[in-house]
Amino acid sequence: MSGTLAFDATDSETAGKPTVTSVARNANWELWGSSTASGPETRLATGITSYRDGTFHACAPADRPMAQLRVKFLSSSTKTWRVVSDARSLQEYSFFSATRPGTSGAQQVGTVKVPAEMALAWKTVDTTNKLWWSRANTQTPCWTRTEAVGQCTQLTYVWKNDGKKGSWWDGGTGYVMLAGLDPRSQHLVLHEAGHFFLSKLYGRNVPQVTDCNPHPMDRRTSETCAVWEGFPDAVAAYVMGDRRYVFSDGAVTDFDQPNDWQTGDQVEGRVVGAFLDLWARGGPDGGTWDRTVEAMTTSHPGTFRDYWLKARPAAGLPVTGQARSIVENHTIRY
């Protein structure tokens, strides 16, 4: 059975927040079949949709003739990330395609749509690909090189279609608690995943963060808060390829430093702008964040000051010339 897995969901990143049809890439599927029309089903094969276009090709073993077949789709990608309905059962969302008669040949089932009430779970699965593809780790099949083969932590989103807003990363469980409407924004999903990612880079050395509730992007909070929230903001913008943060209601914060923002390294938005300019094409870090990811892994800076004065020099990243001009342009001076 071959086809394409797709979902319809609100796109907060586009003006007017239209409903857009997108393919679900790297999403898990299972092929189930029964040898008789009323007999019990057996799982025959597993796989993931194409990372390019969301297509799937689910094949039953040739030596096991089936009376009927159908494909089960799950809100997860291998064992690397998943969306579950609650933090206790950790039950993934799932649904089946239409049942087809078993045959010895190929069946093209066309586009299979995720049920509307589950669509944002698969949008979350698909959005997370962008961080996975950018994670700057070629040493292990895990999120970061701090984890060895066979010991990878699965990124878990706990999501319910309850119409609410207000998401966070839970440091106790390590789960992203994702509110019902929030996955409409890819930036928001990637920001919360960025907290998980940073916690994996730091291992057991996550810094104590102060004065961070609330944390307006344009006002001073604390040096620790500005980095703890600013780095995930930068994660979202970097992997999305832009310079903004988009909320689930479509509101946008532009990190090209509006004049009415407060100044210094206690301001989340200033820290984000500095990170993005350091990583930008033509910038001092070679157009990539890879060496900053390495610096975070080895030095665990708790503030932007620590990142600038300790982590960057230790990683061989420049702190003079163009790099210094960038940071000072974002009102951060040491």
Catalytic (active-site) positions: 192
Distances (CA, A) of 329 to 53, 121, 194, 226, 278: 41, 39, 25, 17, 11
Q: CB burial class (10 A; 0-12, 13-18, 19+) of residue 138?
A: exposed
Alpha helices in the chain (DSSP H): 119-133, 186-202, 223-240, 268-279, 290-299, 304-306, 312-314, 322-329
User: What does the alpha-carbon distance between residue 56 and residue 14 come to, in Å, rounded to a whole number?
Assistant: 28
Q: Do 72 and 40 contact (CB within 8 A), yes or no?
A: no
Three-state SS for 46? strand
Q: Do 93 and 179 contact (CB within 8 A), yes or no?
A: no
